[in-house]
């Protein structure tokens, strides 16, 4: 999903800075999720982190699409 969003941003000439900042935040949450899953396994943690990552992906997708394409 992250590759799709970054590709959409690149080909759509979208707001590169905003999407790339959100990409680093997404990557940070993914690393935190992996480390916390190693320490303790709990479905509420997985559910919460999954929602956070999907919200970040949706924010990146909306930003890339809204600032990238203009209908002429």
Q: Which of 54, 55, 37, 38 is nearest to 46 (CA)?
A: 37
pLDDT at 62: 84
Mean pLDDT of 15-38: 84
pLDDT at 70: 55
The predicted-structure confidence for 32-72, as pLDDT tens digits, reads as follows 989 998 998 889 988 998 899 999 889 888 887 776 665 54
Q: Is the pLDDT of residue 19 over 60?
A: yes
Mean pLDDT of 21-27: 85
Planar angle of CA 65, 32, 48, nearest 5 degrees = 70
Q: How confident is the model at residue 12 (pLDDT cuts 50, 70, 90)?
A: low
Going by C-beta distance under 8 Å and a sequence separation of 6 or more, which residues neighbour residue 1? 57
């Amino acid at each position: 999903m992250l590759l799709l969003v970054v590709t959409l941003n690149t080909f759509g000439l979208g707001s590169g800075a905003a999407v790339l900042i959100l990409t680093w935040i997404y990557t940070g949450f993914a690393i935190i999720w992996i480390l916390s899953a190693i320490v303790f396994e709990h479905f509420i943690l997985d559910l919460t982190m999954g929602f956070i990552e999907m919200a970040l992906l949706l924010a990146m997708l909306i930003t890339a699409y809204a600032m990238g394409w203009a209908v002429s």
